[in-house]
Amino acid sequence: MEFCDDCGSMMKTEGDEWICGSCGFTKIRDEAKEAAMVTTEGQTESEIVDISDAEDQGLPTTNAACPECDNDRAHWYMQQIRAADESETRFFICTECEHKWREDDH
């Protein structure tokens, strides 16, 4: 991938040149530099590992009363579920029964 020296936009290749679609700036392609670039074509997929039954969920824990089993510890995470100008919602997962609830649930 190459970026325009003039405007910073991403450039495309056409023949032996890089051409900026925004401002029209062109420069000659450098084969040695392009050979060193990492492309998605050269990458391999890694194996998908199922961690759904893992003991440690990798999430931080806090004091929170589970509405299902009254346990006082829960993992938590934040997630944007509304518009970008709205605040994130905090979700909890009980460390005992794995019940999931969100902060504004009553």
Q: Rounded to whole angstroms, how far apart are CA atoms 17 and 92?
A: 53
Please check if 66 is assigned to a binding site: yes
Consult the annotation and say whether 69 binds a ligand: yes
- The reply, when asked if residue 28 is annotated as ligand binding, is no
**43-to-2, 47, 62, 80 alpha-carbon distances in Å:** 19, 13, 39, 30
Long-range Cβ pairs for the range 52-58 (8 Å, 24+): 57/93
Whether 20 has a binding-site annotation, put simply, is: yes
CA torsion sign for 20, 23, 27, 32 is negative
- The answer to the question of whether 89 is labelled as a binding residue is no
Point out the annotated binding site for Zn(2+): 4, 7, 20, 23, 66, 69, 94, 97
Point out the annotated binding site: 4, 7, 20, 23, 66, 69, 94, 97
